[in-house]
Structure 1
Amino acid sequence: MVLLAFVSGQRPAPRAPARAGPGPAEPCPTCRRRQPVPGEQSLTTDNPLDRERAHLAASRTALRAMRADVEALDIKDVTANWVNAEVLQAEIDTRIKALADLAHTPLFFGRLDYLDGTKDDADGEEAEHRFYIGRRHVHDADGDPMVIDWRAPVSQPFYRASRKDPQDVALRRRFGYTAGDLTAYEDEHLTDPREAQTSSKLLQQEIERPRVGPMRDIVATIQPEQDEIVRAGIGGTVCVQGAPGTGKTAVGLHRVAYLLYAHRERLARTGTLVIGPNASFLHYIEQVLPALGELSVKQATVDDLVAHVPVRGTDSAAAAGVKGDARMAEVLRRAVRSGIRMPTEPVVVVRGSRRWRVPAYALEELVRELMDRDIRYGAAREALPQRIAHAVLVQMEAAGEAPDDRVQDAVARNAAVKAAVKEVWPPVDPAKTVLRLLSEPEFLARCAEGLLTEEEQKEILWAKPARGVASAKWSAADAVLIDEAHDLVQRTGSLGHVVVDEAQDLSPMQYRAVGRRCSTGSATVLGDLAQGTTPWATATWEEALTHLGKPGSRVEELTQGFRVPLEVIAYASRLLPAIAPGLTEATSVRDNPGAFSVTQVPADGLTAAVVTACREALDREGSTGLISADARIPVLAEALSAAGLPCLSPGEETTPDVRLTLVPASLAKGLEYDYVVLDEPAAVVDGEPDERTGLRRLYVSLTRAVSGLAVLHSAPLPEALR
């Protein structure tokens, strides 16, 4: 691999590129015929970087022309009515947004030169097919491609080709950018045995680039093992166990972008959803998909999905654990069906001068049949009057009449039939059912018999029953129970694909809530068992996938880190035997060990030392995160303010003027900062209900750093870190 870094007016003299002639020729991806690049004839320089800059400029011009073409569309006489016109205009507006040229976002980041094994007529050399790989497709006025979308099949070798398997690629070129300007390139000759294999410096620089602002895409740095997950088919669910810094979140988001490219029509009908652990995390990742041209993907937390009632209360850890247990699904099923009664009276339907009688035993058979089928409560309740009406129609036909479907519908709406259905299969309100379950000990005992112990039942019963649904102080776990009850009554709509991140913290009942949203679709499950910090944290992915409704799904493990420096991940991994003994310890490709220090200071000087460490971190380029136990946040906020160091809350976007974020340890998961100052690890551990959960919280806090970590403590460190 040869690195050629150019600055305007300067040109070193390392090895020349594979073809030394004028600018590259752009192929048609279908027929692969050579196409002239706009501006190439007027470009006479031999400087390869100038030629690449010319192609970039021409591509940007072509992109602007594509957008102008869409903006110029006239749909006045195209649609039949105003509704169709509104829909079409909305699609056009979305297309215009997707074609925006972001000045500081490189239009392409790589190039592939393929060999087709034929001889070029001009010089006798093998002919090359050249593809520029970028974030979106760009074509010229004739429709010939100038930039190929990174998701297209022809782009795949950019991520997977190697010397052992070049995949017909002669040369892979990576481009380096500074503030949107193309400033460098790097070549890798995959079929030339004379070239020594070295690591990519541009790739390393892109990985280590300072993190300021929200999370960005990794489309230029996707690794082969990540690309396999990104391009996995839509037909199955994929679970990714990823150590800190392995890019699992980015992999999940890029998988959504790929699936929307490969199955756009299907997912346009069924929809896609990204589920994150909290609003701060969603705000942090919200710009990734729009940067890849995907504007229609919705984002939510699990709490957003189950927001049937306002959440104003909290549960103890023990109560939340019981409410989140999978056994509650059967408790709720019993509660929803508790009102079903076997009929004791016949149904008599009067039509004209005739009376038609359905005896009680026949009604009981219909009710038991619907119960045995175990269909949704609401669907069964809608089916019962039709079954009764059918029984009446059988009698009519036996008496010589010829009733049709209209007669059956009329019988099903008969007052006597409605009264019988209401008596034996009454309507159910999901929230009222859960309210009763948590308020009435006798009702809970009947529904939980053989499932929950007496102690567990006492744990989830409300000490002071609410008067009604509106006045109840519902907890987040209660909202999940109501969502389960809703689904027992009426089926929840399914999406085409769902991504759930930080999934290790979901309870079994929360997994069921997510699974209902993709019951007929697929899912991408992302998480790290070592970072589970809830009392009900996932023990194994096999168990989690079963609760999700996707048992036997593929589980992939990412252990090669790209973000966390080697020394930092090695230090944090000392905790693995205590928090997740079965996991493989993560490695790091980072050559730079990063700035790493562990400092003990007197207790009365800890806060001042933390403020000093933050000031030193801010002297470097990039973002800084001060992570501390939740209880210490007010003290540190006051100290930073007194020192004249403004800070942000998690989820707020950093700016050149304010690059310091004060992060409670409970909200650190999924976030990353160039430099992290970790305040008093012992307080982070002590802030959790048990030591194992506390050590997992500490593991999360230690692994948020991209370039440097400073640990300051006055109390003794956990034994594994001493």
Structure 2
Amino acid sequence: MPSPAQTPPQPQPQSQPQEPPRDPSDPLRRERDHLASSRDALRAMRHDVEALDITDVTGNWVNAKILAGEIEVRIKALADLAGTPLFFGRLDYRRAPGSEPAEDAEGESFYIGRRHVHDAKGDPMVVDWRAPVSQPFYRASRAEPMDVALRRRFGYTGGELTAYEDEHLSDPAESETSSKLLQSEIERPRVGPMRDIVATIQPEQDEIVRAGLAGSVCVQGGPGTGKTAVGLHRVAYLLYAHRERLARTGTLVIGPNKSFLQYIEQVLPALGELQVKQATVDDLVAHVEVRGADTAEAARIKGDARMAKVLRRAVRSAIAMPKEPVMVVRGSRRWRVPAYELEEIVRELADRDIRYGAARDALPQRIAHAVLVQMERAGEAPDDRVQDAVARNPAVKAVVKACWPPVDPAKTVLRLLTEPEFLASCADGLLSPAEQAVIGWQKPARGLKSARWSAADAVLVDEANDLVQRTSSLGHVVLDEAQDLSPMQYRAVGRRCSTGSATVLGDLAQGTTPWATSSWAEALAHLGKPEAHVEELTRGFRVPREVIAYASRLLPAIAPGLAPATSVRESAGALAIRQVPRAGLDSAVVDACRASLGFEGSIGLIAADPRIPELAAALAAAGLAHLSPGEETSASARLTLVPASLAKGLEYDYVVLDDPAALVAAEPDARTGLRRLYVALTRAVSGLTVVHAEPLPEALR
């Protein structure tokens, strides 16, 4: 139970810091002293690294440059970030962790923070939250105290330690109550980019964060359940637990768009992880310049898994069976490989499930081997050098070029989309003639440079590229907002973690693309991770209960089998619905934004994409400065004008939602429109104001 007697008169973290008592025995004073000492120790650690002299350590300039780069990264990781608490909790163990129970044994105390800090002797002053000794901070309870006698949480104001709160887990007389400091940290206003949740990770979230590297995990989470934060903290944990392995194989965070990546980009650096790459799916498949756009139906067909088989046929259509034997001349001898034997070699390679390029590299060696067999029968003793020389023979090269010519992935896809006869032959039995007509280009390009590729075309080129040459795999990939990917996009991501693992994050109810997945089993199969364990997060921590309940009225129409998310938060007056005349809509929206600016935190004005220019002009006329999504890091204004298409994954303290009917109408179909509306309604973490002129959708009336 929280211990109010042990806190100063104003224990809430949002209160103004008060002059600490002069009594050295005061607990709060001791904790402040430890914080100051820890900051001094961190500065000393950083100074020690900065003072390293590597002049005589490395053997050459290349090694020196690499080592200097690693030292620079280490220096950045040891930065004492302003306004970020160095530690946020403390654990007092009943006995030393890992030791056997002993009567009257007294354990140790550990301060839990974002990174490890030690003193000059090497003794820990702050323990990394990812260390095994820190795990009970997130998992321990009175039912299972995990040898913890006391768990202490700290409250901060402006970087100053202002309060603490204790839970005596081994005291049966103490009743279980919710932590006010924990609740206050969860509800702290959000201005700027996304923050880490390292101080507020819940037990069910911690289980996902600390899951092993070997297996893949899929997290289905409703709005505000923290699935994105869980995925990012999982990366940080895996880098801590498997740093050497992931340093070799690499990690990647994949988000839906650039605005989303800008929103989350500060989370991992705040946890000391500076080298995790971030990208969108479009970044992964950027083999061609995207300058065109597809209709929704064309994009859906191009994103269908059947296209993988069509592309395989297209790539392998270049394979031709030999009609003539090959004659290899070596010195005074001639060696003849008959056409039927060449055909057997080509068919055997074609039937194997190996990359086109790898098979093409193997073909001359197979032909050379057939020649070497004849040499051995004739009494010669050829070695590997002879086989390599035969494989490079002009006659063998000519056979390879005729039977297994080089393939350009982009040119193959271009031919598929611009030559109806070629598409028909490759799609026979896979795509109907009507579907073929939909994806075919109406204006054939003269060449690669003039081609107007769409985003879906780029994914096809990536698939063709992998059919020719294997795509390199990373050690771990985090895929966020995964419900919006097409089967072909899943395959593109799956290639990047084919020998590694994945953390898949999403919410089926928030799928807003025409090809949005309807089941995680299907999505994981396309990703190549059918064995991934699916976890469901249903307890929300950010979206107020009134708001999530209002938005959940849409679930029967957009995701009938999905359980609605619940919320641990109650916020009086968090939801307001205002109907205004059509002529007064813009002014009413501006008034709602101005009223929201009277509160602390960030404000997001979300509207249908076609409404953005009109609302931008209205805000400018009213003198209200605003940002675009992704610009929040500048913190030059608290109001962001958000197109509904970019709202997914973002959060604002207060949201003003412009005319839901217009938002729904802007989408290709009603179901997609209602899903987009569900996303927009659940971006608020403190208050939501819906301003509308047209009637609301039936479920919300």
- After TM superposition, the score normalised by the length of structure 2 is 0.96
2:388 is the alignment partner of 1:409: yes
Compared CA separation, residues 253 and 479, structure 1 to 2 (3 A): same
- For 2:85, what is the secondary structure of its paired residue? coil
Identify the residue that residue 313 of structure 1 maps to in structure 2. 292
Output one character per residue of 1:146-189: Cα deviation in whole Å (capped at 9) or x when no partner.
10000000100000001111111111000001111100000011
SS at match of 1:556: strand
Which residue type is aligned with residue 94 of structure 1? Answer: V
Which residue of 2 is the match for residue 576 of structure 1? 555
Deviations 1:352-394 (Å, cap 9, x if unpaired)? 1110000000001101111111210000000000000011111
Secondary structure of 1:2's partner? coil
Contact 1:133 1:150 in 2 (8 A): yes
Give the whole-Å Cα distance in 1 for the aligned partners of 2:40 and 2:188. Answer: 28
Q: In structure 1, what is the Cα distance between the partners aligned to 2:43 and 2:108? A: 25
Opposite residue 457 of structure 2, the aligned amino acid is D
Q: 2:325 is matched with which residue?
A: 346
Question: Any residues of structure 2 matched to 1:557-636 within 5 Å, and which?
Answer: 557-593=536-572, 595-636=574-615
Deviation at 1:79, TM superposition (A): 0.8
2:14 alignment counterpart: none
Deviation at 1:591, TM superposition (A): 3.2
Q: State the distance in 1 between where 2:175 and 2:137 align.
A: 19
- In the alignment, the residues of structure 2 paired with residue 126 and residue 310 of structure 1 have an alpha-carbon distance, to the nearest angstrom, of 67
Cα displacement (A) at 1:444? 0.2
Q: Which residue does 1:647 correspond to in 2?
A: 626
Q: Which residue among 278, 295, 315 is the counterpart of 1:336?
A: 315
- Which residue of structure 2 aligns with residue 717 of structure 1? 696
Match of 1:487 among 456, 463, 466: 466
Q: Partner amino acid for 2:180? A: K
Going from structure 1 to structure 2, the CA distance change for 1:12 and 1:681 (only over 3 Å counts) comes to: closer
Q: 1:367 aligned to 2:346?
A: yes
- CA contact under 8 A between 2:88 and 2:154: conserved in structure 1? yes
Aligned to 1:172: 151
Alpha carbons of structure 1 residues 132 and 520: separation in structure 2 relative to 1, 3 Å? same
Q: Is this contact kept in 1: 2:96–2:108, CA < 8 A?
A: no
Match of 1:456 in 2: 435
Residue equivalent to 1:96: 75
- Determine the C-alpha separation between the residues in 2 that align with 1:558 and 1:594: 26
2:647 to 655, 663, 668: 668
Task: Give runs of aligned pairs for residues 35-50 of structure 1, distance below 5 A.
Answer: 45-50=24-29
Letter in 1 for 2:388: D
**Is 1:2 equivalent to 2:16 in the alignment?**
no
Deviations along 1:302-342, one digit per CA (max 9) or x if unpaired, are 00000000000000000000000000000000000001111
Separation of aligned partners in 1, 2:107 and 2:586: 62
CA distance in 2: counterparts of 1:47 and 1:410, whole angstroms: 84
**Which residue is equivalent to 2:528?**
549
Counterpart of 2:139 in structure 1 is 160
Query: Residue 16 of structure 2 aligns with which residue?
Result: none
Q: Cα offset for 1:592?
A: 2.6
Whether the 8 Å contact between 1:6 and 1:12 is mirrored in structure 2 is no
Q: Could you tell me which amino acid in structure 2 is paired with residue 232 of structure 1?
A: A
**Structure-2 change in CA distance of 1:585 and 1:404 (3 Å):** same
Q: How does 1:252-401 map to 2 (within 5 A)?
A: 252-401=231-380
3-state SS of the aligned residue for 1:473?
Answer: coil
Aligned counterparts of 2:441 and 2:572: Cα–Cα separation in 1: 53
Q: How far off is 1:663 after superposition?
A: 0.4
> Structure 1 residue 682 and structure 2 residue 665: aligned?
no
- Deviation of 1:128 (Å): 3.0
Query: 1:18-74: CA deviations, max 9, x gaps?
Result: xxxxxxxxxxxxxxxxxxxxxxxxx97111000000000111111011111111111
Task: Answer with 402-411 or 491-500: which moved more.
Answer: 402-411
Q: Which runs of 4+ in 1 moved over 3 A?
A: 3-7, 10-13, 654-657
Per the alignment, do residues 287 and 594 of structure 1 end up closer, same or farther by CA in structure 2, a change over 3 Å counting? farther
One-letter code aligned to 1:104 = G
Matched residues in 1 for 2:481 and 2:217: separation? 14
Q: Equivalent of 2:205, from 200, 203, 226?
A: 226
* 2:229 corresponds to 1:241: no
Distance 2:327 2:403 in 1: 15
Contact 1:565 1:594 in 2 (8 A): no
Q: Deviations over 1:658-703 (max 9, x none)?
A: 1000001111000000000000000010000110000000000000
Do 1:212 and 1:655's aligned partners in 2 also have CA atoms closer than 8 Å? no
The answer as to whether partners of 1:6 and 1:183 remain within 8 angstroms in 2 is: no
Q: In structure 2, how many angstroms separate the alpha carbons of the residues matched to 1:470 and 1:110?
A: 58
Distance 2:490 2:167 in 1: 45
Please state how far the C-alpha of 1:125 moved relative to its aligned partner: 5.7
Quote the offset at 1:127 in angstroms: 1.3
Q: What is the CA distance between 1:578 and its match in structure 2? A: 0.3
Counterpart AA for 1:364:
E
1:187 matched to 2:166? The reply is: yes
Mapped pair 1:468 → 2:447: yes
| Deviation at residue 4 of structure 1 after TM alignment | 3.9
Q: Tell me which amino acid in the other structure corresponds to 1:663.
A: V
Cross-structure match for 1:68: 47
Q: Cα 1:593–1:396, aligned 2, differ >3 Å: closer, same or farther?
A: farther
Q: Is the 8 A contact 2:391 2:397 kept in 1?
A: yes
Number of aligned residue pairs: give it.
686
Equivalence for 2:19 = none
Is contact 1:5–1:183 with CA below 8 Å preserved after alignment?
A: no
- Partner-residue secondary structure (3-state), 2:503: strand
Separation (CA, whole Å) in 2 of partners of 1:353 and 1:300: 59
Query: What SS does the aligned partner of 1:232 have?
Result: coil
Give the aligned residue type for 1:235. Answer: A
- Tell me: CA distance 1:295–1:410, structure 2 relative to 1, closer, same or farther (3 Å): same
Distance 1:356 1:708, change over 3 A: same
Post-superposition CA distance 1:250-286 (Å, at most 9, x none): 0000000000000000000000000000000000000
On the 8 A contact 1:275/1:301 being kept in 2, the answer is: yes
Q: Give how far 1:654 is off.
A: 5.5
For 2:172 and 2:141, how far apart are their aligned partners in 1?
A: 12
Pairwise CA distance, 1:298 = 0.1
Output the amino acid matched with 1:167: M
Counterpart-to-counterpart distance in 1, 2:366 and 2:508: 50
TM-score by length of structure 1 reads 0.94
Structure 1 residue 117, shift from structure 2 partner: 8.8
Q: Which amino acid aligns with 1:574?
A: R
1:704 partnered with 2:673: no
Match of 1:216 in 2: 195
Distance 1:509 1:11 in 2: 59
Aligned counterparts of 1:562 and 1:12: Cα–Cα separation in 2? 24
Distance 1:148 1:379, change over 3 A: same
Aligned equivalent of 2:15: none
Residue 154 of structure 2 contacts residue 181 of structure 2 at CA under 8 Å; is this kept in 1? yes
CA deviation profile, 1:427-483 (whole Å, cap 9, x unmatched):
100000000000000000000000000000000000010001111000000000000
Measured in 2, the distance between the counterparts of 1:52 and 1:478 equals 59
Aligned twin of 1:30: none
* Structure 1 runs not aligned, ≥5 long: 14-42, 119-123
Provide the residue aligned with 1:131 in structure 2: 110
Query: Alpha-carbon deviation of 1:237?
Result: 0.6
